Structure formats: C-alpha cells, structure tokens
C-alpha cells in the first residue's frame, strides 16, 4: 500500500507520446473512408441484380479489386478505432476493457481477412 | 470552524434532467449509427464471401437481400451509413477549428439530419432505376 496520491504517481512521467499520432490516424482513416465508401456504394449500386459471373468478371479488373480491397481495409480500420473509443469511454474495469479491446481487434481482423480473401479469389478467377 | 450552510446553488446538469437538444441527440446518434454499422458490415462481408464461394451461397445471400425483410434492413443500413458519413464530415470540419458558432452548429445538425433522409431516398430511387 502506497501513501502516494494517484496524481503524485503519474506526475513527471510525461505523456505516452503517441496521443497526437493516434488522433491524426483516426482523422486520416476517416477521411479515406469518404471516397472509398462512395466507391463501394457505387460498386454495389452497379451490381444490383447482377449475376455472380458478372460480378466476378468485373472483379478481374485490378483497379476495381484494388479499390474494393482498399475500401474494406479503410472501413474496418475506422471501425476498429471507433469501437476502441467507445469501449474506452464506457468500460472502466481493466479486465473487461482489455477483453473487449482484444475482441474488437479479432472481430475486425477476421472480417478483413474474409473480405480480402473473397476479393482476391474472385479477382484471380474462381 | 464556520458552520456549513446548505445553499441553493444550481447543481451541474445531469443526463436525466438535461433538456434534449438537437446537437446533443445528433452527437448520440453519430455514435449509435457508428456502432450499428460496426455490426452491419457483416452483411457486406457475407455478400462478398458468398459471391466468391459458390452459386448456391450467392443465391442464398441474394434471396435474403431481395426479401422484404432484407430490404428493410438494407434501407436502414443505407440511412445509417449516410447519416454517419455526413456526421463524420461535420466532425472533420470541427477538427479544423471551424463551425463552432452556435448558429452554424444548429444549422449543420439540421442539414445532417435532412441530408441523410434525402440522400437515402435518392439512392433508393437510383437503385430501383438500376434494377428496372
């Protein structure tokens, strides 16, 4: 048991030196989401009622497959950062917070791998 | 020691007694729509995976999205995405230090809400034109 106050314990340690970078990353990813999600919406709009063969045929274009992969990565990255902010705001128990942060990483990573695998499989021909 | 007398000072406003304001509700809605999209993206990854896997997987996904229930979900998804996107643009404007004027804040909140509804309807009209 220490007699030091919480303020006394952290005083003089300085910041973690990564706050500004994290803040900037959130904004840059959010900005990237604007054109990329617009592309995604147009892609879906243009493939309404399309057959599977037509979708796969358009996916052979590396620009289409590349933009689609980039949009999924940007969206999932933004989701991961956003959910992290929500968890850190509302979950104060250390164990529960860490568990949810790991689940957040796992969830977005699994969706990302599934999406990229599907895009590449279609682009390289299935 | 001096006696501490209870004074009728105003206390800091608490959530339950706070008069709901548009900007406050829009702030909450931005977070709620973000959280909803977080789970809604499963539908997008499902659609992409089904298209990559096989005809039967793809047909199953398409039959869900073509069903009235799937269409309601997709309509909600569209509005949620557009509302969160417009809200995100507002936040990016604020991040540059602009738009904190009380009049501008109120105007932007209204534009966000109205814009999300108008754009959702326009997108669905475009979708029906593509399908026809």
pLDDT digits (tens, 9 = 90+) for A73-104: 999 999 999 999 999 999 999 999 999 999 99
Record: fold of B22-131: 3 helical TM bundles of succinate and fumarate reductases (1.20.1300)
pLDDT digits (tens, 9 = 90+) for B34-53: 999 999 999 999 999 999 99
Residue A11 tokens read as: 């005083």
Size of interface A-B (CB pairs under 8 A): 72
Q: Print the SS3 string covering B95-130.
A: HCCCCCCHHHHHHHHHHHHHHHHHHHHHHHHHHHHH
| Domain A21-123: assigned CATH number | 1.20.1300.10
A33 CA to chain B: closest CA distance, Å? 9
pLDDT at site A15 = 78
Which of B32, B48, B78, B125 to probe by mutation at the A interface, max A CB count within 10 Å? B48
Domain boundaries, chain B: 22-131
User: Residue B2, by phi and psi: left (phi above 0), alpha (psi -120 to 50) or beta?
Assistant: beta
Mean pLDDT of chain B: 92
| Mean pLDDT confidence for B94-107 | 94
**In chain B, pLDDT over 70 holds for what percent of residues?**
93
**In chain B, pLDDT over 90 holds for what percent of residues?**
82
A67 class by beta-carbon count within 10 Å (0-12 exposed, 13-18 middle, 19+ buried): middle
pLDDT digits (tens, 9 = 90+) for B15-35: 667 778 899 999 999 999 999
Which of A52, A53, A70 to probe by mutation at the B interface, max B CB count within 10 Å? A52
- How far is CA B109 from each of CA B26, B89, B98, B117, rounded to the nearest angstrom? 7, 11, 14, 13
Residue B41 near residue A75, CB atoms below 8 Å = yes
pLDDT at site B110 = 97
Would you say residue B75 has pLDDT above 80? yes
Would you say residue B74 has pLDDT above 70? yes
Nearest C-alpha neighbor of A68 from the set A84, A90, A47, A52: A47
Q: Does A31 contact B92 at a Cβ distance shorter than 8 Å?
A: yes
pLDDT at site A125 = 80
B chain contacts of residue A77, beta-carbon cutoff 8 Å: none
pLDDT at site A37 = 96
In this prediction, the residues of chain A whose per-residue pLDDT falls under 70 are 1, 126
pLDDT digits (tens, 9 = 90+) for B109-118: 999 999 999 9
The tokens 């604007």 sit on which residue? Answer: A34
| Mean pLDDT confidence for B74-100 | 96
- How far is CA A4 from each of CA A7, A10, B105, rounded to the nearest angstrom? 8, 10, 44
* CA dihedral sign, ordered B48, A108, A20, A18: negative
pLDDT at site B7 = 75
């Amino acid at each position: 048991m220490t007699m030091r106050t919480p303020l006394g314990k952290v005083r003089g340690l300085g910041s973690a030196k990564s706050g500004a970078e994290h803040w900037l990353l959130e904004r840059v990813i959010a900005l990237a989401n604007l054109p990329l999600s617009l592309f995604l919406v147009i892609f879906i709009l243009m493939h309404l009622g399309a057959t599977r063969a037509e979708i796969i045929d358009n996916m052979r274009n590396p620009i289409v497959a590349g933009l689609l992969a980039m949009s999924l990565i940007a969206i999932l990255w933004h989701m991961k950062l956003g959910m992290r902010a929500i968890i850190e705001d509302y979950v104060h128990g250390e164990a529960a917070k860490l568990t949810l942060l790991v689940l957040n990483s796992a969830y977005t990573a699994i969706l990302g791998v599934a999406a990229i695998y599907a895009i590449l499989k279609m682009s390289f021909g299935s | 020691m001096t006696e501490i007398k209870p004074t009728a000072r105003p206390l800091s406003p608490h959530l339950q007694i706070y008069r709901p304001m548009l900007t406050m509700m829009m702030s909450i809605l931005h977070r709620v729509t973000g959280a909803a999209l977080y789970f809604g993206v499963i539908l997008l990854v499902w659609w992409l995976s089904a298209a990559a896997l096989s005809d039967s997987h793809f047909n199953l996904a398409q039959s869900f999205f073509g069903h009235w229930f799937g269409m309601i979900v997709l309509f909600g998804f569209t509005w949620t995405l557009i509302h969160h996107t417009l809200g995100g643009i507002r936040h990016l404007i604020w991040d540059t230090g602009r738009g904190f004027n009380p009049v501008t804040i109120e105007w932007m909140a209204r534009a966000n809400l109205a814009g999300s509804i108008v754009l959702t309807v326009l997108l669905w009209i475009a979708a029906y034109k593509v399908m026809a």
